[in-house]
Structure 1
């Protein structure tokens, strides 16, 4: 069974830029998804639509995985869970967190599908220690362009397994996957906040805390001069029952997560997000976070891992033209100099994100995985006529430093920038050639970048 849009409809990613016309198909079973894939060219799979740019929009047709939303099996003894590709991280946490299980790797939003998390090899605040989402995936089944359904793991179809991690849906449509969950004692994190007066201090804090499981720095992108890159660094570990009894003796071990009632209206005026309002927000946010540094406290996992999920449709705050999320990674040896140059240019321009983050990364999981050992900076920019020339300048700094941009966030990088950053591209191209995907599995991103 399947539903589909009549002809093409306008689709976009989470950034609401760009928009493109594509036939939208919504199969309800793995067999239906396979049949759609077999019958079409210029097609790609789409999960929850949380890739920011054009990665999940087929040049002709787009197959939604949201109808593949069943949890198939769970073994509590091994913590192994098998789910269909359209199940979201939010779905998994809602069912298993109250039972004492979590996902070892989660991205910055819980509203992504398992299939999308594999295709982007998403990373979290613990990548420097635990790697990306691929490290929790034991195996998956994938439908190939010719209709064959194969099982992939590190020992079975290993090259296809590796190329699919970060391959952005260009090796086939993931149908289901078996994941390993993480046992936890409470729903709380033991968080420690550190204040960093500038970028060097933030990197020093992250490096000195590399043994901590979770770490992330919020950066004030409008700070300049000696305060360039001033940050709040949030370090955390899963709280034990003993931690909870010491720091929050009256708290429930696994409190029920309340749904947020906050939402951004569809016609939100983007002009409200300007240099003055962001400067005020950044100052208040920094002072609030700096008020009690170095004192461990308990925080629920939801606001720590997914701060923006509390606001429904927060992507609308940038107005009708949308926004671009710019995420680069710079090798550790060049990170301080290059990130300082990027932040200086951004602060002088004055319209960067109110929630910019810096994280430490380890090595990637596959030939197309985004991470490399270094530091990743993420910023949002509202779309304007002058934006793209400015981002091209930042791209040149990233390329010169041996870094790259995250494909799950990309909406506009050039083919030359992309090819310079992904030396594993040849392995993906070889796999695509072998499985007959070159003219069949085509997204707007892959067409733009020549994958």
Structure 2
């Protein structure tokens, strides 16, 4: 097929955090033969929902191949609970099919319109990575398209090198066309979520340690707190339940990079951050544990769009670090000092515990995930540089898909499999047909 038959047009793309944008060629294939269109040696990259904080799905001069038309559920084996689904299908679509059959995905990230291909390319995590691992731990097989090899089915058992490079590989080994997922029984339809007030990050870390077997275990923390109460916040502990939700499920606003950046100014400042955190903490921790629908528990920001929209056009910066458990107390102490010294516009912090082995460039391994959300400013840039130094000193692993400015030097030193992953993608894609702003910035 010729390039003209592939229907290329020019489109503008922007990261969800608002930091990176580009105008480049855009292909929206809806037939498998369109994927085989002859693009010559032009660089290309797959795109799903386009909700990544980093520019993993576009780049200057790169053909963006949007996969959302490939959204079918292809086959299901009831005896093994294996579901084969096209890469453009969203979490929402898969769960809408699975829930009536008393099934669910074991790992679900925080927004319903993320595609299955995106979940695999970023190897996303859910609400308790300590127990459930990451998304790719539940992927049985993949179909990958590469112009040099055509359509190829791979499994971890048959080709571990190619499989692990694709999982958490940001689409740099070829187009993820479909995936076979292992579903798990859904013992209940709703979630009973307890919200416990926590006076500090250290206190929250202890409570999360005790909640290892919970279905949901994560924390949110006020970015304005300082001193002994640094990280004052809430720890959420949840379990599946058959109790009825306290309120009915409502429609939600479909978020996008453009919608998030609609307001011209950021509304987050010390006063609004303190007020929002204080009000939310009071509402969440007052009264008995709340019963929520699975949708509201798994996608807490889907209906609470004000949080991301208040960053406005200036945008936000997010940094996530996986901190070795034995270094967490020292990390928290030094993080508090960096925050006090620079006083960045820190809005929200959160934590989750992880367990597992590291692979590719994905956020994987064992330790405590510490996430930091900030309004974008000059102080934020200085803070990010200080966090890079802290990560290297503490042996913490940054999350490349969440940090749109992560420097190559930091990634190479901090990501355990950086060199091995780079070698793998050069072996699997020797002409380096698959590129993005992220791969260029990280010098892959």
Give TM-score scaled by structure 2 length: 0.91
Query: Does 2:374 align with 1:372?
Result: no
> Partners in 1 of 2:383 and 2:185 — Cα distance?
45
Unaligned runs of 5+ in 1: none
> Partners in 1 of 2:88 and 2:252 — Cα distance?
23
Unaligned runs of 5+ in 2: none
**Where does residue 268 of structure 1 map in the other structure?**
263
**Where does residue 345 of structure 2 map in the other structure?**
351
> Partners in 1 of 2:153 and 2:172 — Cα distance?
16
Q: Give a deviation string over 1:26-68, Cα, whole Å, max 9, x none.
A: 11123322436x6343211111001112111134211111111
Mapped contact 1:364–1:370 kept (Cα < 8 A): no
> Partners in 2 of 1:4 and 1:14 — Cα distance?
26
Query: Does 2:319 align with 1:326?
Result: yes
Mapped contact 1:222–1:350 kept (Cα < 8 A): no
- Post-superposition shift, 1:421? 1.4
How many residues are aligned here? 436
Q: Give a deviation string over 1:392-447, Cα, whole Å, max 9, x none.
A: 11111011111121121121011111001122123222222222345311111111
Alignment of 1:50-69 (within 5 A): 50-59=51-60, 60-69=62-71
**Where does residue 362 of structure 1 map in the other structure?**
355
Mapped contact 1:151–1:157 kept (Cα < 8 A): no
Q: 1:437 to 1:322 in 2, by over 3 A?
A: farther
Mapped contact 2:227–2:336 kept (Cα < 8 A): no
**Where does residue 396 of structure 1 map in the other structure?**
389
What is the SS of the residue equivalent to 1:427?
Answer: helix
Mapped contact 2:47–2:67 kept (Cα < 8 A): yes
- Post-superposition shift, 1:282? 1.0
Query: Does 2:399 align with 1:406?
Result: yes
> Partners in 1 of 2:217 and 2:148 — Cα distance?
43
> Partners in 2 of 1:440 and 1:343 — Cα distance?
43
Q: Give a deviation string over 1:80-115, Cα, whole Å, max 9, x none.
A: 111110001111112222332111001122221111
> Partners in 2 of 1:23 and 1:61 — Cα distance?
5
Q: Give a deviation string over 1:102-137, Cα, whole Å, max 9, x none.
A: 110011222211111001110111210121001110
Alignment of 1:60-139 (within 5 A): 60-139=62-141
Of the candidates 167, 170, 179, which is equivalent to residue 168 of structure 1? 170
Give TM-score scaled by structure 1 length: 0.90
> Partners in 1 of 2:99 and 2:415 — Cα distance?
36
Query: Does 2:422 align with 1:429?
Result: yes
**Where does residue 201 of structure 2 map in the other structure?**
199
- Post-superposition shift, 1:210? 1.4
- Post-superposition shift, 1:330? 1.0
